[in-house]
Chain A
Amino acid sequence: MELLEGEREEIVSEVGNITEKYQPEREKLLPVLQEVQGRLGYLPVLAMEKIAEFLRIPTIDVYGMATFYNQFRLNPPGDHQIKVCMGTACYMVGGQIAMDSFERRLEIQEGETTPDRKFSLERVACVGCCTLAPVVVVDDIVEGHVTPTRVDGLLLAYDGEGRVPAESARQVEAGQQDEQQSEQEGEGEQHS
């Protein structure tokens, strides 16, 4: 995906700020990648090049790590991240049906972002709310029992001003400012 204006500079400076804190050791590669993604939301090629430079390893090694582990994404996330749970319990009661519905409506495949960067769609292994299956997590809000009609409703609700549907104001992490700070490393991409 093309970088937007100003993104280049942002990437270089963010990566610089993060690598500064680490020793240039191979063991630090995974934590650095996690932190960079936590900051930028994804791993742009430029960031991977900068990390490779810092650790004095070939860029392909960084790319190899970024593609081996499910946590990392190479595309920028959308304004709203839709994660469809594909744990066993969800799959059995129609997780795939929910995924199909999103793909059909957004006209993208799983793992992609809409061209206007409004929505990104991905599958997650298990969010651990098996009793609400099938589950979809939009941003940090867990939606249970998602049928295709609900998919349409969700998209409609988020498409306008990003307004959250009233009935589902179930913030997973609502109002926990003190916790948010320590969470930043894992933020952005909590579910692979």
Chain B
Amino acid sequence: MSGSSPEKRYEQLKAEAKEKVGSTADKTVVWVGTATCGKAAGAITVREAFKKEIQQRGLEAQVREVGCMGHCYAEPLIIISKPGFPSISYGFVDEGLVKLLVDNYLVNDDPCYEYALVALEPNDYFPTFSDFPRGVYENKTILGLCGFIDPEEIDEYIAENGYAALARVLEMKPEETLELIKRANLRGRGGAGFPAGRKWEVARENPEKEKYVICNADEGDPGAFMDRSILESNPHQVLEGMIICAYVLGAASGYLYIRSEYPQAVRRVRRAIEQAREKGLLGKSIMGSSFDFDLEIFQGSGAFVCGESSALISSMEGKMGMPRERPPRLSESGFRGKPTVLNNVKTFCYVPMIINNGVEWFTEIGTPESPGTAVFALVGKINHSGLVEVPMGTSLNQLVYDVGEGLPKDKAFKAVQIGGPSGGCLPESALDLPIDFDSLQEAGAIMGSGGLVVLDEDDCMVAIARYFLEFTQKESCGKCTFCRLGTKHMLNTLRKITTGQEDELATLDVLQELAEDVKAGSLCNLGGTAPNPILTTLRYFKDEYEAHILEKRCPALMCKELIAYYIEPKKCSKLCNACVGSCPTEAIYTRDDGLKAIDQEKCVKCDNCMKACPPEYLAVVKLSPPSLVEEREGKKK
């Protein structure tokens, strides 16, 4: 076979893969989503239950694992493919439902539509994704295969046209591929949106022989899990993008920098690398060409600042992850001082897709300035939380209300926090804003890596700003004075405000000024964006700050020091003791008249009694400012 072209070799690989995968097409398969999120919700129990039930009944069905489908709200999720039926996905699966499905569907032929979530192929019985609003707005490209193929089986990826782009690229000149990426205007998905093609070009043109390709999977934002999900669900897509990039640069080795907090992602990527080596897709003379390239995993150690490219390099070199001044850019002098291309997981994922489908396909999605799609981890006060992929330019409104299906419990929308600790909070008036790199920046937030938290009327904006500041303050590496001390001072100010120790309204002006100074006086993006949560909340929710300072009142009833729990005598049923039993500090007592009351001295504001009070009474309420309690009790007496 030696001497044949990469494309010929690929055809053979694909034929083999198809044969292997196709051999299960006429069998019943139960696919269980076992990414970290699925496992946390109980996917392993579900998997074992299926195995047990199937074995007990002597059925021929297989139980296999897939990654994440993105519908996290309905975990654990499964898909059942039975010949003669469309593939059907079921959500909220537990052991009972497993029994039911095995009895009714696997043994007999009743798919139990009442428990089904969605069908995967068009059919006459049950709606598919495109019949739901979410399916209409979503455009799954890089998430397309996530949750539908076995991430630990390279043949499944190859059978779905995986590594075809690599074979094609190996037949082309490297500069032709570079030209495609540049024309597609692929912008880095790590947050800043720097054009990937320009980065690659600079590194390519550098005369230095030794070059590196690094994938940044150090996803440190709390509440963001897009990269983890992709690595756990379809790791080969990332590898293929990296190999193509290496070919363009002429790099011989590359690294995937993955957080060690993602053990499952590390494991699946490690397996993917091994399988790619076995197939001759990594290592010496890839697919029979003269191109050599190999990949290794480097595990990050949990420092948010290492998401910053120069800090990441520094940590790979065995030093503390502190950013350095740029220029020189990494594409000129990066890992070990050599030209290095560092891109985000998602950026690499788009590369094979652009090669396969063409530049026009890519630029037609999204907006002219930000082509392609955006992947978000949609969480917080939203009905259908999960991983979503929408074209750039989709409005926040569509994302929250159509894709996410709105807020639970009929609560009023207050804000979206977009971009994690570096992003900002945007109010209702910004809901029409299209999502792309530039519009968000104008509104004061950033695209960031794609965390999107929906906040409702019960969320205090000052507390949110404080939460993110606590995070960035702790994660500041300490190199720049403004970031190191500035974030600390801002945090102290916010703490004073949220605990009712701040009386001067003028503090807000100082806070604003300091925030702008920290932005200007920091070397890297951590300091440069850390004040964003403060700046945006000051811009859009100043009234909440004022209420905290002037009235010592938390409008959202969230800041512990500014609220008090109170049992309304009118609503309290004397006969029920739920609250008394629920209190961990014995602060609730029965008054002489049989009603319950809270000893404010002992109360730790744990919210237990409010949850415990039966829905027919709902006698426990939160009051802010706390002095209201005395007022009410005073009146009573």
Interface residues of chain A, those whose CB is within 8 Å of chain B, are 25-31, 33-34, 64-65, 68-72, 86-89, 91-92, 94, 97, 100-101, 104, 124-132, 135, 142, 144, 147-149, 151-152, 169-176, 179, 182-183, 185-187, 189-192
List the 4 closest A-B pairs by CB distance, nearest first.
A192-B302, A69-B301, A70-B302, A88-B223
Residue of A87, A174, A187, A190 near B44 (CB, 8 A) is: A174
Residues of B within 8 A of A132 (CB): 40-41
Q: Which single residue of chain B is at the shortest CB-CB distance from A142? A: B40
Residues of A within 8 A of B477 (CB): 68
List, in ascending order, chain A residues with CB within 8 A of B260's CB.
Answer: 34, 71, 186, 189-190
Complex: how many Å from CA A25 to CA B336? 13
- In the complex, how many angstroms separate the beta carbon of A70 from the nearest chain B beta carbon? 4
Chain B residues with CB under 8 Å of A25's CB are 318
B299 touches A129 (CB 8 A): no
One of A88, A101, A135, A185 near B453 (C-beta < 8 A): A88
Please indicate the chain B residues that have their CB under 8 angstroms from the CB of A104 in the complex: 584, 604
Interface residues of B (CB under 8 A from A): 36-37, 39-42, 44-45, 48, 72-73, 75, 220-225, 228, 260-261, 263, 266-267, 270, 298-299, 301-303, 315-321, 377, 379-381, 385, 417, 420, 451, 453, 455, 459, 464, 467, 477, 582, 584, 604-608, 611-612
How near does chain B come to A183, taking the closest CB pair, in angstroms? 5
**Knowing A30-B315, A128-B37, A130-B72 touch, does A149 contact B608 (C-beta < 8 A)?**
yes
Query: Can you identify 5 A-B contacts, CB atoms within 8 angstroms?
Result: A26-B319, A92-B381, A132-B41, A147-B608, A190-B263
- Chain B residues with Cβ below 8 Å from A124 are 261
Residues of A close to B222: CB separation below 8 A: 86-88, 91, 125-126
Bound together, the chains give a CA A72 to CA B380 distance in angstroms of 29
Question: Given A68-B303, A127-B40, A132-B41, does the pair A147, B607 have CB atoms closer than 8 Å?
Answer: yes
Contact check, A148 vs B301: say whether CB atoms are below 8 A apart.
no
The smallest beta-carbon distance between B602 and chain A, in angstroms, is: 12
Q: Which residues of A contact B455 (CB under 8 A)?
A: 92
Minimal beta-carbon separation of A58 from chain B (angstroms): 13
Which residues from A are CB-within-8-Å of B40? 127-129, 132, 135, 142, 144, 170, 172
A31 and B317 CA atoms in complex are apart in Å by 11
Known: A64-B320, A149-B582. A70 touches B301 (CB 8 A): yes
Q: Which of A30, A128, A151, A152 contacts B318 (CB 8 A)?
A: A30
Q: Are A100 and B73 in contact (CB under 8 A)?
A: no
Q: Which residue of B lies closest to A26 (CB)?
A: B318
A182 near B270: Cβ-Cβ < 8 Å = yes
> Given contacts A87-B222, A88-B379, A147-B611, is CB(A129)–CB(B37) below 8 Å?
yes
Contact in complex: A148, B379 (CB < 8 Å): no
Given contacts A131-B73, A190-B261, contact A169 B220 (CB under 8 A): no
- Whether the Cβ atoms of A152 and B319 lie closer than 8 Å is no
Pick the contact of A72 from B220, B223, B301, B451 — CB < 8 Å?
B301
A169 and B45 contact, Cβ closer than 8 Å, known pairs A190-B260, A192-B261:
yes
Cα A152 to Cα B223 in complex, Å, equals 27
Please name the residue on chain A nearest to B583 by beta carbon: A148
Q: Which residues of A contact B270 (CB under 8 A)?
A: 182
A88:B608 contact, CB within 8 angstroms: no
Please, which residue of chain B has its CB at the minimum distance from the CB of A69?
B301
Of B223, B604, B611, B612, most A-chain CB atoms within 10 Å = B223
